[in-house]
Structure 1
């Protein structure tokens, strides 16, 4: 129960916040009334708010009932502004003053409909902090105060019904936010964090939260019932007509034997209604690797992403339903990493972006370069379980990596007319990198003499010095054509894509193995000196067709076709290096060419009426591989791989949008994962001489049968939300990596195989409610997951069962403008059982407790402090790691215009930072500690460039 201590403390903090006098106290009263129109007919679901008349801040809110009634109970004695709004009616405003009575009944309050004559009336009353229209909630950003220089993320934390965790993930109305748009446009891609981390809060006029249609539904015009929780940010006019950005420079003294810490970064955006130009740059040695979320959102523009750019059309419930596993090169997109990385890194990046956006033409193009030098010093302990015992690997490594990347992207969209649209997309990357790695591994064999306690003896030692470098090029190009017919719901789409990837890599391997227990070992295993070179070329051509036809008013027929042709060519040469010779190793060298052909044809029928969407369909897909391999391309005899796989893929989905913000969904589908080229080829990889892996040309595609169902509910009057789902996956021909451990040397060899019977079942539930509206919110969640993984260990089938239990709570306190507190508690347990050796069953604990507090002091001085306490334990193996990370900063806003900030920051005040992880795998448990940048201090100066001031005369409604 001690793990619940912090959660208890957080909950107790709320007592002081919303402790109230007894209901019968004369200092409290109840306000009630009824909302009606001019004919005295009730107006149900009207938005009813109580505001502070001094600054229009929100005190309480709700919605009227079916008969128009509303009630606010237990109000403090004082003056309030009552504001009522309903679509199509003028807002109603009334000042409420206490009368000394326990109940103030306002009776029927009549709202006037908006007529042509009333359009001339200027409404000068306070703006409504929020408005509720069906499932859409609109917040007036100016009603929720945040410190100058705050981000959109800080603003979202203030909004009732919205939560933002420490990593920037957003939940609204109990559901994960899938998209963030700006002025209704898809500015910053699928990751909402890209748009919230650094866009200035002062640039936002309104925040709208609603359920958006999927891009598939928008394209076809067919309602599929699926909803994507979306946040739209409306910019103020002055930020639409000028430039804005910021520049930050930071420096701190040397500490912990490490050099001076420094950061510099800046970005600038200038755009109007049609064009945007952005530049960005950064450099640091504070582990901010790649481009941070903060800078990324400023860098990208309104046309950078479009969620309908997926050229692999299929069932409207999503997914390609076929995956090539394990061969993916580095992403062609810009790397985004907003959190401090592990180890020690020096980073630099810069780029430029240009967008052009009109109704018929949209162009986005960018160039970006980034480089990172990363040093990792790691200590790992891994225990592998065998049928008759176990062995432990103790590893210490030091690795230095360098990566430099040039990236170019272009997206062009042309609306040919009202029915025809053409899109072209290109993403290209040129990469060069190198790595040096020193590793010392000691393998201990367990020994248990009769009558004596268990002990270990050193069995094998490995010392490895590797140096590698690589040069990669990749380019992906897609052309998409869309046609909407005049008949509503009828549509057609076609796409063609080409992708090329090349990789020229080399590895210098220098390893020494010492076998203390083995009687006879091949001398070639004792000292390994090799030069390994690998040249890879991959080309892929794809095409897709989609047609949607409405029939019988409520039914739609959807059909699609997918084609893919992929060519892989790999030339791998391995040479053994002697004192005076360089001899080719034919057993490790390999040349192979694979041709992949994929065809899929599918069709489904959808029923859509009054919120109910039901779809059922089938697709037949065929995958063919034609490959050949040999030790060298000049070989006279090649081995061949000639395989054809045919699969029928079903798809069923149910989406029911019920009344009163209730939503029910469910579905069943099958995904197919094709073996990677690396897994199919019998190539031996000995870059880690004690853990050798080899491909398997007899692999079959893996099938995943997925079943899921869920329910969500949101009450816009009380802001109570509930969400729950259940999901399960069953694997057929699952690709797993079986192991064979040499009993003499303890060298482990892995090989992919197909096994059927693995499964994964889980559920997630969350419940959130306000303890006091606008002041305190509590969210509770729980997650369960039960997995069964199969693998062969020394030709004996091992079944690993994992039971994961997680419970969490989040408390948001925003009682005043000058104080906020956000607390989290997450408790995780994993129980792991091994059929091959039940004596090694174990329990793993991963707990995380955190709090973040912000305080505003006089004279524009602000204090921020956060504490993150992580607990990792595994009693069976004596692992107990407790890491408190305390960060704090104090900053002052400078100048009348409040454009500048000076900040003193301290990171890891307790000097306890270390990157720790623990994991239980199919037949092993591993913990890892990585030495990471710890306590340091920074003094920084930031200058914010604001939008051009635009004094505009406004008339009409406020």
Structure 2
């Protein structure tokens, strides 16, 4: 590997050397001045192709108004200089005999009113740089017909998009995408980029936006959100557009999906539907996010004011039980059949904002998995667990959301939010588990055959009121929230246990039982916030938080003939009351933002539990905890697109009621759980510091961050392993000393502007994890190191190549059993290539090569996943597409997971969808607004 990297470095160095010495190249330089002969620093300078204004190179003038493009190919160019308030200057540049073409002083004229029309016509430069805002002219960056906004963004200098569609701009993650300045598509960047057509966009603007809290209160909190704004062409602002795709493939694979979007300056309407058996779930970002609309997380929608409190609620929900529409994003392992449909409507004006949606999804997932796990004990011994499992899960969910925001007047705003969910499903689970002592002697075996039937309902209602006083910066906000959640389940458990070297009766040999569970939960909470300007530079933020949570769980375990099993049944209810009062002082002046705060936090926790709801001998749990919570943050704008920030916080939280109950849960006879009523509250100290730099002249970016956390009274599980049966009994207990240190560094720069960009990053994460094994403390130290790169090549609109790689190494060391120390390698390489062929034919391919290695267990797995497609655009308007695709052409796809922590190491292999081919037809709908009106849609 080292020899290959050295050879690559030598070749790149040689190429650059030859490139620099090429006599067919020259440099272009000059000085920008105004009509008064004063130099113009930091003006945008662009070198364009004369025939179509394609961007060749760009930069900014220095503080003396000078610029220079070095080693450009000898050819005819169009030079353009732009500066706010001045008519864009442009001139033809022709090759010269010498090595430098000095254009001398180039004069820009100020804009006069009568020249405004001329300015508009000549201002269509490929990009403009205004402070920390970069504006791209979409027409200057060519993409194939039918391309999405994501394809367009890939072509923009300073923008990178990985294989999952995550966006980075100027070295930072893009947090929000708006359309014409409005959050019609939510704050997930993939919402618009994967579904809006590139041809609908006239401009792309990238800038650092203030946080929603700063906008609401008028007090800058120093937090910046990298934002992309997409400006639509006029003919797309009032029309409708969408896409329908139908495909059929080998191995009985098929898909059908479609969406339609229509919006103007005030309204958005979207519908979506899909069905497939190719592991693309109905909750993926690719097919759904464009439709969420302005249901994005606006500041204050969660109705918790003040700095982070660390309050945690333990609901033990499955993923399907989230009350908002899930947006998983990635294809999961196994095999799935998915259906989804939904509708969304948004209304957005200056004073009234209304959002609503309904969404239905159904997924059937089949997962066949092999797992090997080795558990290390405190006497240099270990035991292994091999498991073959099969799961068939069907889940259905209906979700609806409403959000209404009314600006009553310039001082008062009211927000009402409602979310609801109804879900049900079934799960069949079969498993064969085998336990081996010292890796060779079989100790016991368990065959499990379980069936679960579940359903749940949830409602969340939120009211928010904000008031701005006449005094600038003075604000008041209040919130009231009510949540209701109820879940019911019936779980049929059947298992057969065999012991090979243990006395008969050590553990139950057969289990055949039914578990009925009913769990209602109520939550009421309220928050108050008052912001007071102490001076032009200082502000105080005072807040109060209150919440009362009541929940109950009734667990009734019976035999198949209806007899109650008291030893496994239980009932508990609890009240959790939380009060917090705090204040912080913020300093904000000339880019320096400093905040320090302190809060007094009080928990009151009461609970009752017994074997049944009708019992007379309830046991009680009472907790009354007071804590002081400090917090601090610093952010500094170092000017010229350089920022540094730091944060510190302390979090305090109560143990879960499940961990506090001294009741044995033996639903898994080989892994028993028992609570501990003497648990103390947990707390953690967390610190973070980061730096970011972006040079808009060279498009070079750099960022780094360091974070650290230290845990006090952390809840861990003391594991007692029976030396005869290998049955593990886990009991929670408190311990201090667990900690984590992490760092990350990234650097990116264009090799040739608009043609190739290189990014490299690296990070380290070092953690110390504590656990008791048979009452003996074991310290597990994990060291994770990662180095990654990304090379984007976009030499023309006919060919693009995006490559990436990551090297990951994990070192795990155990204090009790050092012979089991190990090193895990997880590496990956990726490449995506797109080629435009004659006759509107296009070829694209994607390679993802994954490498897993663990010498300690002789594990060495290489998994190359290759995808390729050939498609042709049809019709004069290029609205239709016929595509032939091949997935996992090498037939190597398998799910691999390696994990080492605490006192065990595990490896999993999951069967998943492998090679198949699909023929699909796509039709892009555009310009159908008149037909829609005739049919009465509008």
TM-score bin (small chain):
over 0.9
Distance 2:38 2:473 in 1: 38
Aligned residue runs from structure 1 range 313-352, under 5 A: 313-315=305-307, 319-325=308-314, 327-328=316-317, 330-352=321-343
Root-mean-square deviation (CA), in Å? 1.8
Equivalent residue for 1:206? 203
**Kindly tell me: are residues 16 and 369 of structure 1, through their superposed partners in 2, closer, same or farther at Cα, counting changes over 3 Å?**
farther
Distance 2:459 2:677 in 1: 28
Equivalent residue for 1:372? 363
Question: 1:314 touches 1:602 (CA, 8 Å); kept in 2?
Answer: yes
* 1:846 maps to 2:835: no
Moved more, 679-688 or 106-115: 679-688
* 1:563 maps to 2:546: yes
Distance 2:8 2:284 in 1: 31
Shift of 1:679: 2.5
Aligned residue runs from structure 1 range 200-599, under 5 A: 200-254=197-251, 260-302=252-294, 304-315=296-307, 319-325=308-314, 327-328=316-317, 330-388=321-379, 389-446=381-438, 456-522=440-506, 525-577=508-560, 581-599=561-579
* 1:170 maps to 2:161: no
Shift of 1:272: 2.0
* 1:146 maps to 2:130: no
Equivalent residue for 2:936? none
Distance 2:467 2:577 in 1: 28
Question: 1:459 touches 1:515 (CA, 8 Å); kept in 2?
Answer: yes
Shift of 1:298: 2.8
Match of 1:188 among 180, 185, 198: 185
Distance 1:879 1:757 in 2: 33
Distance 2:731 2:474 in 1: 49
Question: 2:594 touches 2:635 (CA, 8 Å); kept in 1?
Answer: yes
Distance 2:324 2:217 in 1: 28
Distance 1:857 1:197 in 2: 23
* 1:82 maps to 2:79: yes
Shift of 1:26: 4.3
| SS across alignment from 1:323 | coil
Equivalent residue for 1:955? none
Aligned residue runs from structure 1 range 676-715, under 5 A: 676-715=656-695
Shift of 1:14: 7.0
Match of 1:155 among 152, 155, 158: 152
Question: 1:132 touches 1:716 (CA, 8 Å); kept in 2?
Answer: yes
**Kindly tell me: are residues 529 and 397 of structure 1, through their superposed partners in 2, closer, same or farther at Cα, counting changes over 3 Å?**
same
Equivalent residues, number = 927
Distance 1:835 1:670 in 2: 29
Distance 1:460 1:870 in 2: 35
**Kindly tell me: are residues 68 and 123 of structure 1, through their superposed partners in 2, closer, same or farther at Cα, counting changes over 3 Å?**
same
Distance 2:657 2:505 in 1: 32
Question: 1:696 touches 1:751 (CA, 8 Å); kept in 2?
Answer: yes
Question: 2:289 touches 2:327 (CA, 8 Å); kept in 1?
Answer: no
Equivalent residue for 2:642? 662
Question: 1:327 touches 1:677 (CA, 8 Å); kept in 2?
Answer: no
Distance 1:535 1:147 in 2: 55
Match of 1:930 among 903, 910, 921: 910
Gaps of at least 5 residues in structure 2 are: 931-938
**Kindly tell me: are residues 10 and 912 of structure 1, through their superposed partners in 2, closer, same or farther at Cα, counting changes over 3 Å?**
farther
Question: 1:327 touches 1:678 (CA, 8 Å); kept in 2?
Answer: no
Distance 1:843 1:251 in 2: 44
Question: 2:87 touches 2:119 (CA, 8 Å); kept in 1?
Answer: no
Equivalent residue for 1:116? 113
Distance 1:312 1:599 in 2: 12
**Kindly tell me: are residues 527 and 12 of structure 1, through their superposed partners in 2, closer, same or farther at Cα, counting changes over 3 Å?**
farther
Alpha-carbon displacement from aligned partner over 1:845-876 (angstroms, at most 9, x marks no partner)? 10011111111101111111111111111110
Gaps of at least 5 residues in structure 1 are: 255-259, 447-454, 951-958
Distance 2:654 2:196 in 1: 41
**Kindly tell me: are residues 488 and 328 of structure 1, through their superposed partners in 2, closer, same or farther at Cα, counting changes over 3 Å?**
farther
Distance 2:259 2:12 in 1: 40
Match of 1:751 among 706, 726, 731: 731
| SS across alignment from 1:322 | coil
Shift of 1:195: 2.5
Question: 1:532 touches 1:573 (CA, 8 Å); kept in 2?
Answer: yes
* 1:56 maps to 2:65: no
Shift of 1:898: 0.5
**Kindly tell me: are residues 271 and 8 of structure 1, through their superposed partners in 2, closer, same or farther at Cα, counting changes over 3 Å?**
farther
Shift of 1:13: 9.1
Equivalent residue for 1:954? none
Shift of 1:185: 1.5
Distance 1:403 1:12 in 2: 55
Question: 2:157 touches 2:699 (CA, 8 Å); kept in 1?
Answer: yes
Distance 1:818 1:611 in 2: 44
Equivalent residue for 2:870? 890
Aligned residue runs from structure 1 range 903-942, under 5 A: 903-942=883-922
Distance 2:817 2:339 in 1: 49
TM-score (norm 2): 0.96
Alpha-carbon displacement from aligned partner over 1:368-409 (angstroms, at most 9, x marks no partner)? 110011111000000000012000000000110000000011
Shift of 1:643: 0.5
Distance 2:296 2:634 in 1: 32
Distance 2:83 2:75 in 1: 26
Distance 1:611 1:547 in 2: 23
Distance 2:376 2:442 in 1: 17
Shift of 1:18: 7.0
Equivalent residue for 1:777? 757
Equivalent residue for 1:802? 782
Moved more, 695-704 or 134-143: 695-704
